[in-house]
A = this chain, B = another copy of it.
Amino acid sequence: MDRILRCAHAYTLEDDGLGYLEKVDIFIDGGKIIKIIPSSQENKAEEIIDLTHHLVLPGFIDAHMHTGMNILRGLAQDTSHWMMHGLGPFAQVVSQEEELLGSKLAILEAARAGTTSFGDYETNMDEVCGFLKKMGLRGQITATVREALHRVYAPGEIYEFDQKMGEESLQRNLALFEKWNGKDKMRIFFGPQGADFLSAELLLRLQRLAKEKHTKIHMHVQQGDRETYQIQKRYGKRPVAFLKELGYLDKSLLAVHLTDCLDDEVKIVAQSGANMIFCPASIGIIDGLVPSADVFQKEGGMVALGSDQAPGNNSHNLIKEMYCAALFTKIKRQDPEAMPAWKVLRMATIEGARACGVDESVGSLEVGKQADIIAIDLRRPSMSPVFTHPMRNLVPNLVYSARGDEVDFSMVGGDIILREGSFIKDELEELFEELKGVPESIGHRAEAGFNEVAGSNYRWMKEGLL
């Protein structure tokens, strides 16, 4: 027996509830949960970890991230035309090495707030997998596949496709799959970036590959009016209708955002058996909109949460994402009972795992599952006082009050990541060293583009408002 976690309050997230358990010992052996029984001094192990002042939960699953973009945190909010006017001038000058620094920083930020599974999605993912492995973290990783050339398009212009680029990115995705899938806590998905960025032929090839390899298609779906415009121009219909006709809507699809979907289109996707990733904070900042995750769930679809990328969202913190999922939906529906705390906690854990197709191994605390476990320190003002009767306030306090720093302990597949709020393997000092001079260099390269675009942040910088 490796370890016992001695818990005062644990939520297993089993089945369709939260599975609250009081005073239990969770036994960990070989990286898995092998027993959960009432706490007792009789229970013995090599190490007993005292979590009796804690709230114990399955680790959080962040299903959709572009961690590399984190090197550009805080540079693209408060702006219309986010992609072109906000992110564009910076994104076009960033190197692969700089993105990797951003990824490392984002991963540490997220892990510090309880994320144990990372849904990263970018062109070059091999080194990110390497860093996750080094830290002992879990990944559901996707490599971007795309044929549309990266260049400035005139308004109304149809994207220019480059078959060679498409083929190369597909081969990179395939190579990533062969190298990492099923190894070192990694799962690899296939990543057509969006229906507008690939030909129908390449979309279908990827779908066949995903089915053949028993993995998922992870794709942005109807994520904005630019996508809708492109698909309508090319195929005479909106993206959801196009994907439905193509036979793309089924349980192999993990559909991200659905920002530009009407509720009826959201229903079509949910009814198809596809699942959804909801990135409330990112879409709130980028578009001022709230995708209809609540409608998706009502139709029986599974919804995972994602922190997306830091120049949009500006942070990677699943506790904040749960908060935004709940609050933004309440505000959208003008209904305080919409999207309660228990629902968003399920999205960050078991429902997220089901959406990503990894619930056989993670997402809940159950015998036989991987030991991906976090503990929140209850001896913090933000988590106090603790009521258990006639109502437990532990989950509402986590969702509506916690900041992220209350996560005190975490473990992934039995490997300890955080103890007393500190990383076992601390990469931060080294990372800050590597970051020296990087923002200055990127800033220098981005300056001409930033000035040319002359967006809201350019104006506010001139006016002394930044």
Contact = CB atoms under 8 A, between A and B. Distances in A.
Contacts of A387: 74-75, 439, 442-443
A326 B270 CA distance: 31
Contact of A342 (B310, B397, B465): B465
B384 A78 contact: no
A285 B397 CA distance: 13
26 contacts: A18-B465, A20-B466, A74-B397, A77-B340, A80-B337, A281-B327, A285-B330, A288-B335, A310-B401, A314-B400, A331-B331, A340-B456, A341-B466, A342-B460, A342-B466, A384-B435, A388-B439, A388-B440, A389-B447, A390-B447, A390-B450, A391-B443, A403-B404, A403-B405, A404-B405, A405-B405
Ranked nearest first, the 6 interchain pairs of A and B with the lowest CB-CB distance are A74-B393, A314-B400, A109-B381, A78-B340, A17-B464, A74-B396
B391 A461 contact: yes
Contacts of A340: 77-78, 456, 460, 465
Contacts of A71: 385
Interface in A250-288: 281, 284-288
A458 interface: yes
A285 B18 contact: no
Contacts of A464: 17-20
Contacts of A334: 287-289
A34 interface: no
Contacts of A20: 464, 466
Given A389-B443, A390-B443, A78 B396 contact: yes
Contact of A389 (B281, B385, B432, B440): B440
A118 to B, nearest CB: 14
Given A18-B465, A314-B397, A317-B382, 19 more contacts: A71-B385, A73-B401, A77-B336, A77-B341, A78-B326, A80-B335, A80-B337, A105-B385, A290-B331, A310-B401, A315-B400, A317-B403, A328-B331, A331-B332, A379-B432, A387-B439, A389-B447, A393-B466, A405-B405
Identical chains in the assembly: 2
A383 B315 CA distance: 9
Contacts of A438: 385
A93 B330 CA distance: 29
Contact of A382 (B80, B315, B392): B315
A47 interface: no
A75 B328 contact: no
A79 interface: yes
A381 B336 contact: no
A425 interface: no
A336 B287 contact: yes
A428 interface: yes
Interface in A283-337: 284-290, 310, 313-315, 317, 320, 324, 326-328, 330-337
Interface string A330-365: 111111111011100000000000000000000000
A148 interface: no
B106 A381 contact: yes
A287 B334 CA distance: 7
A287 B289 CA distance: 19
A371 B438 CA distance: 34
Nearest to A71: B385
A397 B310 CA distance: 9
A241 interface: no
A405 B224 CA distance: 35
A284 B340 CA distance: 13
Contact of A73 (B331, B332, B393): B393
A460 to B, nearest CB: 6
Interface string A387-425: 111111111110011011100000000000000000000
A394 B314 CA distance: 11
A374 to B, nearest CB: 16
Contacts of A460: 340, 342
B385 A435 contact: yes
A438 B381 CA distance: 15
Interface string A434-465: 01001110111011001100001110110111
Nearest to A289: B334
Nearest to A402: B315
Contacts of A393: 73-75, 466
A392 B464 CA distance: 10
